[in-house]
Amino acid sequence: MQHRGSTAEVTDALLAEKRPAVGGVPALAALKSTSRGTIVGRSPTICGALATLERVARSTCNVLITGESGTGKELAVAALHDASPRAKKPLVAVNCGAIPESLIESELFGHARGAFTGAHAARAGWLAKAEGGTLFLDEVGELPLSMQVKILRVLQQKEYSPVGDSHVHRSDVRIVAATNRDLLAQVAAGRFREDLYYRLNVVHVHLPPLRERPEDIEPLVRFFLRSFCDHLERRDLVGIAPEALEALKAYDWPGNIRTLENAIERAVLLSDGPLVEFEDLPPTVRGEGRLSQPPPPPVERPLPDTGIDLRGAIQEYENNMIRQALDRTKGNRNRAAQLLGLNRTTLVEMLKRKGL
């Protein structure tokens, strides 16, 4: 899934496949355009997640979306909302982990005038702003237990009371929750209510990390490349070099799609064109700037009585390690260099020098 922020022109062009190929490879169509961005990918897990969202969109059931940060949870919620009868009503996203605990109740439910110091006027909360539509509770696992009880009341009885207001307000809102935490572990630890967990988890959709769906990297790269070329008016930049694309596909992307998007934006800004080259990628993607790990303890071997060709033995050991790294990575020089703690250019020079 692609992070929000791409232009409508890029989205429409991708969906219609009207633009020329990037780097000599035909464009890969986006899966779905949503009100918050475009979902891009072709892996079975993403196709399956979208199919599930489409099936349950017209119901009123609660949906729990899980996945690491940067996997596109908000886009999944947008796809669900857009396909539902609530599509013309608001989709309101609230990051539960970004609101101070002392303000969460007021932010969600609103407050009456004079409810607390500084409350000079009544104020509607996020729940009222989402009336008739969808309220997206991102990082729901961060909610304090006191608030979890109040959310449970909304889910069960469809009602709530603003802070400092004795009146009960009815609510017609579909609540969709997301988290990157293991909520069952939170339940076991007493930090998340079990009854709320089962209320939220009627339908569960999991978005796997990018490292588990490598087939989605290439279409995402090409989508972001087009998007940033348009946004930054880089008409001179026409594609991506095969070596750079292979490095992007080999990287594990710990920050998922958001990090990939940042890497492509950086490359478009720094590239001299006409292609994004390997050298335009961030150092971490090129195999540089990693935290060094202590080497394994040396294996002590006795020196033969007849002596040894030390230089030859070192060369033999070095060649053996390089071959193993290349075998393990199926010939991918970028990943092999990472395994050996080398820059990719250093490894390439060694291979040429050694004739491997």
224-274: pLDDT as tens digits: 999 999 999 998 998 999 999 999 998 999 899 999 999 999 999 999 889
Same structural domain for residues 204 and 315? no
> What's the total number of domains in the chain?
2
Q: Are residues 62 and 205 in the same domain?
A: yes
Helix, strand, coil fractions of the chain, as percent rounded to 5: 45, 10, 45
Residues of the chain above pLDDT 70, percent: 85
Residue 33 falls inside a structural domain:
no
Classify residue 283: in a domain, yes or no.
Answer: no
Residue 197 lies in a domain: yes
- Whether the Cβ atoms of residue 202 and residue 26 lie closer than 8 Å to each other: no
Percent of the chain residues past pLDDT 90, beyond the cut: 51
Q: Which of 212, 233, 260 is the last residue of a domain?
A: 212
Domain boundary (212, 234, 262) is at 212
CA atoms in the 13 A half-sphere facing the CB of 273: 10
> For position 142, which CATH number holds?
3.40.50.300
Quote the domain boundaries for residue 178: 58-99+125-212
Claim to verify: residue 196 and residue 320 sit in the same structural domain: no
Domain boundary among 161, 178, 212: 212
Q: pLDDT class for 275, splitting at 50, 70, 90?
A: very high
> Residue 320 domain-assigned?
yes
Q: Is residue 350 part of a domain?
A: yes
| Mean pLDDT confidence for 279-306 | 70
In a domain, residue 150? The reply is yes
Q: Is the pTM of this model over 0.95?
A: no
